[in-house]
Structure 1
Amino acid sequence: MSLDRRISLITLGVEDVARSTAFYERLGWTRSPSSQDAITFIQLKGTVLGLFSRQALAEDAKVENTPPGFSGVTLAHNVTSERGVDAVYKFALSCGATAVKPPEKVFWGGYSGYFADPDGHLWEIAYNPFFPLDKDGHVILPD
């Protein structure tokens, strides 16, 4: 047996589900009708994003709800050009994101910037010339 190479659901622990839902809706993402007051589900391409109380998520996993800080996890959204990075970054800020690192050329040969959602979850907006996107916007890793 092996584990399929896919992630079905990414759940972000948030302080206020309604506030976070409103932020992601401003980005143009749609709340699923299967959502409830306590949890929001957003269908993405091949993955579902969940927004759930940070405290409830910690309790469900039976771990301590440690104070916010860098979690060691970032989410990334790749685009097809440097100009695309700038446009998406600016759009996210207009939707209420917090600027973390303005887009710039980066050491690995691409171009990226970071913003934080209302709960401090870091999003990288990146153009990576070594990881092209297919027609559906999915990253294609080199052979």
Structure 2
Amino acid sequence: MDPRISIVTLGVADLAVSTAFYRDGLGWPYLADKSGEGISFFEVNHGTLWLALYPRPLLAEDAQVPDGPAGFSGFTLAQLARDRDEVNLLMDKALAAGAKITKAPQQVFWGGYSGYFADPDGFLWEVAFNPYSWFE
């Protein structure tokens, strides 16, 4: 098997609100020609990955699992920044777009600098500068 992730799909409560958050608030490249009335796609990593937004109940139905209560889902998504200033800029942009800051940017125990925000559906995003990691 060739390990890769092609699409990350988030089950959202309100597709229009979440689409506006990522497209208009964060300025992510919206793939209008690939999206439809019931799903939104965004290009990330210069096109090597897509982020999809899909109504949460329909995503649970498609996966044939119950749509359980909200809370910590056991995972986070992350965006690496080039430096601390970019972390602060991205966090400010997320806040202005309507995100809830769950952890303000700060020096962290592993030597980097990071913060967390929750999107309109509570999905947690870490924005981090990692001095020990690659960056594309």
TM-score, shorter chain, exceeding 0.5: yes
1:5 is displaced (CA, Å) by 2.4
- Out of 121, 124, 136, the residue aligned to residue 122 of structure 1 is 124
SS of residue matched to 1:19: helix
SS of residue matched to 2:117: strand
Report 1:34-73 matches (<5 A). Answer: 34-45=34-45, 46-73=48-75
Q: Extract unaligned runs of 5+ from structure 1.
A: 138-143
1:75 is displaced (CA, Å) by 0.5
| TM-score relative to the length of structure 1 | 0.89
Q: Extract unaligned runs of 5+ from structure 2.
A: none
More helix by share: 2
Determine the structure 1 residue equivalent to 2:89.
Answer: 87
Q: Which runs of 4 or more aligned residues in structure 1 lie more than 2 Å from their structure 2 counterparts after TM superposition?
A: none
The amino acid across from 1:80 in the alignment is R
SS of residue matched to 1:88: helix
| TM-score relative to the length of structure 2 | 0.93
1:132 is displaced (CA, Å) by 2.5
2:28 equivalent to 1:29 = yes
Contact 1:82–1:111 (8 Å) recurs in 2: yes
Report 1:94-105 matches (<5 A). Answer: 94-105=96-107
1:116 is displaced (CA, Å) by 0.5
Deviations 1:18-40 (A, max 9, x none): 11000001211132111111110
The whole-number CA distance in structure 2 between the counterparts of 1:47 and 1:60 is 21
1:83 is displaced (CA, Å) by 1.4
1:74 is displaced (CA, Å) by 0.5
The whole-number CA distance in structure 2 between the counterparts of 1:44 and 1:132 is 16
RMSD: 0.9
The amino acid across from 1:30 in the alignment is P
Aligned length, in residue pairs:
132
1:96 is displaced (CA, Å) by 1.1
Deviations 1:73-130 (A, max 9, x none): 1110001111111111111111111111000111111110000100000000000001
